[in-house]
Structure 1
């Protein structure tokens, strides 16, 4: 796999039983890239370690006054230099490729999981943790996967050098062969503590990221209640905790680095001291001592990769554990996936848990006193996992949605939650979504009453074309009502068999809301539409209104009928308190007296 071939056609099915198993799975999925990196790494490291041999031969040739030996030593050094340059260049190229492709695979897996779970993901995992996994954690995982091949190349090179020195000069080679394992393993006692501190740092950094993400997402609300300073103080404390943990971790890694400098220095001193004695006794030549000395000095280069792989694993292990936790989430009963006929799902939409029935081809409004329950019910109607677990799945035409392939369920039912996200790009790109082709963008925008939004975007466009106007991330350059209307237009363009809208007009004024209600009913004529709302303007235009109270359908009818006959419905729609309901009932002579049209209009105006 090369960078130009990304994204993967299929990123695969990861092993998410634990963080180390996930890292192992990633490495095995990139065997080709790892072998290429290992090969170029061996060429590079072995060529570097060939320099001491050439230097030693050159020194000995000068001592022996041998021109041919000096020329041979020069040739060895020239070939080694060429191989070093080639190996280093290609090693860097393959290492970066392995890093980026591993990170891209993890990102694709996360995107696929996010698409599979939908908004249920952020109820099961904190949004900040998802952000942390998809940014910093992805980089650290890619670092470890990439570093494995370089570490193996360095380790094999160290073994080759030790064996070569024993053969070349047994007296000094044995000293080096005994000392190098001490160098490589000398830091092992420090690694558990370093790993523990790195885990603490990652945990605190993750919490700080979650806090920052949640604060940014709720910034408007915080400003409204004057809570910016409170959350700023919390983030400062979290940031200082991260700084303190990072300093402690850095101190331990500094100690490890110091040990890796100290031990090779001691080995070098021992080799020189012992070698000088051997030269004085005439047991070895000067060139051989220079060769062994240079080899020991350069061994510190491949040995540094032992420290790097330890750091990479320490930092990537908690990242891999977090990624595995997110990727292990599954749709409930997703393993029962079956195809329904030709794959097209139609018919009445029914939720067995509440008894809610939305007739096919009709506009059904649902009134829920609990906004959180309304959001969960809306997601369940879209085939998302039922929460709490154990609730029966929603049925479309008698077919359980969560037992269908994800693509079939998403094609049949589209759920727009109360806080839809607008991705950055132009308006044309925003509306370029999978669609039936029956609803053009201009019709959808008109039904969503987006005329003033188009005018504002046209003014922001260089060529006065609103479709080419840029929209910032999450639509931050637009007002809340403008974002809602563009999100609604995007859903209408899709033209699904069933459209579920959760409070689609909560941020617009009453006049605009009335026109949206008419446009929605006209454009979706003959299509099943379910709107969760408490707005009298939308409820009055619905063909059927359903009141869900305490998790069950409590009443079904039309708006004016329920308003006059159902106190619980009236309490939600008109925001009446219990005292106000009793007063109205007393004035009418009975708690459930029938309202006149004038009374109903008064209540609607109040709402």
Structure 2
């Protein structure tokens, strides 16, 4: 039994579409070999039937040998049963190859996007990712499916060509020369088809991206009355896809017509040559029947050959799009010894080093998201000890550095699954995380508590509720022994000042002695941090506590005061100054 998806998705080569196809074929070489073997046997059994029919007619009917007639009929019955059995096994292997090729490709894309989400989204649109999973992977799988019949076609063609050469040289040469010419004629149609299919595929990806962006911003569009404008834009792009599809349909229709016309003309000529062979006395009646039966049988290999060429073109176009997705920030395989637990996290570009065991805030007039991405391994540049974070195995980075993005991500499922996706924690631990994120009101507002269902993307919750649930999830997961650093990007940007103050105090209490990095410019959050790093132009220009920087750095003061809400009230929870072990208030410029 083959378990899908694979526990660890394979990493096929993304150097080129052909390299991808080769590496994926190597991964499923056993099922491809089985499909090829039974494909050859299945077509071979069908190819032998015309030969047996012709010999039986010559020996049993023309020469009157009753024993040969009976043996021939029995052999035909055996071949019929063998064909049915071999066809069933071949089909089973073909379906396995289709599933392996398609699901492994989808699995690889899913894991790649999960590992390099932010970097991938910066280079590849959402529509391209969706199209790669929903359209391109199945088209590549179609190529894996037809491999068995393609192998059978080659072997049976060679066998039939040799047999027909033994019967009659003219007929044999007609087959040996004619079939390659038919394949060459099909290539003349396939080449322009490939270019048009690539254009059509590109337009499909653009349309899917536009649709995803429109749906994501539907509420905003309704608020500003922009629905009609975006509907018109979507209609225009949809018509471009339709026109590209029509341009594909032309060569596709010619190819399908050629799949009927060319084999038909070829087989007509073959039958005509066989008939003249009987008239001239070069062929017996049994030979005529054999040639005619072989002629009828060759229709299937001919059609299969053109299908293989057609699917190869479609698969190559599809794989080129998948390779584009998988090439986005594809990290090299990690080698060597991993950094020790507790290694310093350092960013050479900004000059920032995170002190273990402290809650450190990053403040800048410009967004610090890129710096957080580097710490999480989603962009190159940061170091963990003496190793580049992006060069470390992704699973090791995720286990040791937990990054919670600014935009909360929720999925369809129960509230418990949102907070504890791996089902590793008790109810008490989940409730404690909700308390830290000041999200117990979300729980109390749901009819079934932790078992209540959350809609896709948490659309039935407010922005502040989604943000607090995402923070609770991050706090809970960060409590695992393997997590060394928790990076939070604007964790309180969607809540009011009183809620923000409670979250800041509880977050500090829950993360005592743990390495925490917060990207925030909120005074309520900064006042709870052990250390604040002020960046200007992407470089650290001052370090200290929030209060010391307010008193000594005008640039820092401008950023923080500009961020603070005009009607923000003071923290509702009394603040106790940091312990003596915290960094001093000295400003480092």
> TM-score with structure 1 length normalisation?
0.84
Aligned residue in 1 for 2:77: 78
Counterparts of 1:144 and 1:333, CA distance in 2: 28
Equivalent of 2:505, from 499, 512, 518?
Answer: 518
Q: Matched residues in 2 for 1:546 and 1:104: separation?
A: 46
Q: Report matched runs for 1:231-242 at 5 Å.
A: 231-242=230-241
User: What is the aligned partner in structure 2 of residue 175 from structure 1?
Assistant: 174
2:373 to 363, 379, 386: 379
The residue number in structure 1 matching 2:119 is 120
Indicate if the aligned counterparts of 2:90 and 2:148 stay in contact, CA closer than 8 A.
Answer: no
1:251–1:436 Cα change, 3 Å: closer
What is the CA distance between 1:156 and its match in structure 2? 1.2
Q: How far does residue 38 in structure 1 lie from its aligned partner after superposition?
A: 0.8
Shift of 1:567: 4.2
Cross-structure match for 2:350:
354
Hey, what does 1:478 align to over in structure 2? 461
Confirm or deny: 8 A CA contact 2:549 2:556 kept in the other structure.
Answer: yes
Q: Which residue of 1 aligns with 2:471?
A: 488
Greater shift after overlay, 499-508 or 477-486? 477-486
The C-alpha deviation readout for 1:433-480, integer Å capped at 9, x for no partner, is 5799799212111111222221333x1xxxx3x332233333333322
Q: What is the rounded CA distance, in whole Å, between the counterparts of 1:509 and 1:415 in structure 2? A: 23
Cα distance in 1 between the residues matched to 2:95 and 2:391:
41
Query: 1:378 and 1:171 mapped to 2: Cα distance?
Result: 75
Aligned-pair CA distance for 1:525 = 1.7
Other-structure match for 1:261: 260
Q: Indicate if the aligned counterparts of 1:278 and 1:284 stay in contact, CA closer than 8 A.
A: yes
Counterpart CA distance in 2 for 1:402 and 1:49 is 56
Q: Which residue matches 2:20?
A: 22
1:498–1:225 distance in 2 versus 1, CA, 3 Å: farther
Deviations 1:146-180 (A, max 9, x none): 32332121121122122222224555444334433
Structure 2 residue runs of 5 or longer lacking an equivalent are: 572-589
Tell me what 2:294 maps to.
295
Q: C-alpha deviations, 1:178-224, integer Å up to 9, x for none?
A: 43333333312222112222222222222222333333344444444
Q: Paired residue for 2:540?
A: 553
Distance in 1 of aligned mates of 2:332 and 2:96 = 38
Q: For the Cα contact (< 8 Å) 2:411–2:457, is it kept in 1?
A: yes
**Which of 40, 43, 47 is the aligned partner of 2:45?**
47
Give the SS at the match of 1:530. strand
CA gap of 1:52–1:441, structure 2 versus 1, over 3 A, is same
After TM superposition, the structure 1 = structure 2 runs for residues 183-222 of structure 1, keeping only pairs within 5 Å, are: 183-222=182-221
State how far apart, in whole Å, the 1-side matches of 2:241 and 2:554 are.
54
Q: Distance in 2 between matches of 1:158 and 1:383?
A: 54
Please give the alpha-carbon distance, in whole angstroms, between the structure 2 residues aligned to 1:25 and 1:399.
29
Asked if residue 412 in structure 1 is aligned to residue 411 in structure 2, the reply is: no
Q: Match of 1:272?
A: 271
Q: Using a 3 Å threshold, how does the CA distance of structure 1 residues 222 and 345 change in structure 2: closer, same or farther?
A: farther
Distance in 2, Cα, partners of 1:430 & 1:560: 36
Cα distance in 2, alignment partners of residues 171 and 70 from structure 1: 29
Alignment of 1:426-465 (within 5 A): 426-433=414-421, 440-457=429-446, 459=447, 464=448
Please give the secondary structure, in 2, of the residue aligned with 1:575.
Answer: helix
Q: How far 1:238 moved relative to its partner?
A: 2.4
C-alpha distance after superposition, 1:530-572 (max 9, x if no partner): 2212333323333333332221234444445545654433443
2:35·2:147 contact (CA, 8 Å) conserved in 1?
no
Q: 1:498 to 1:204 in 2, by over 3 A?
A: same
- Structure 1 stretch 434-443 or stretch 564-573: which is displaced more? 434-443
Please, which of 345, 350, 356 is the counterpart of residue 342 of structure 2? 345
Secondary structure, counterpart of 1:339 in structure 2 = coil
Equivalent pairs, count: 565
Q: CA 1:98–1:534 in structure 2 vs 1: closer, same or farther (change >3 Å)?
A: same
Counterpart-to-counterpart distance in 1, 2:305 and 2:450: 55
- Aligned partner of 1:368 in structure 2 is 364
Q: Partner residue of 1:503?
A: 490
Matched residue of 1:290: which SS? helix
Kindly tell me: are residues 550 and 533 of structure 1, through their superposed partners in 2, closer, same or farther at Cα, counting changes over 3 Å? same
The offset of 1:6, in angstroms, is: 2.7
Distance 1:77 1:240, change over 3 A: farther
Distance 1:227 1:553, change over 3 A: farther
Partner of 2:87: 88
Pairing 1:573–2:560 present: yes
- The offset of 1:42, in angstroms, is 1.3
> What is the CA distance between 1:19 and its match in structure 2?
0.9
Instruction: Report whether the alignment pairs 1:230 with 2:226.
Output: no
1:541 alignment partner, one of 491, 515, 528: 528
> Cα 1:456–1:292, aligned 2, differ >3 Å: closer, same or farther?
farther
Choose from 421, 435, 446 the match for 2:409: 421
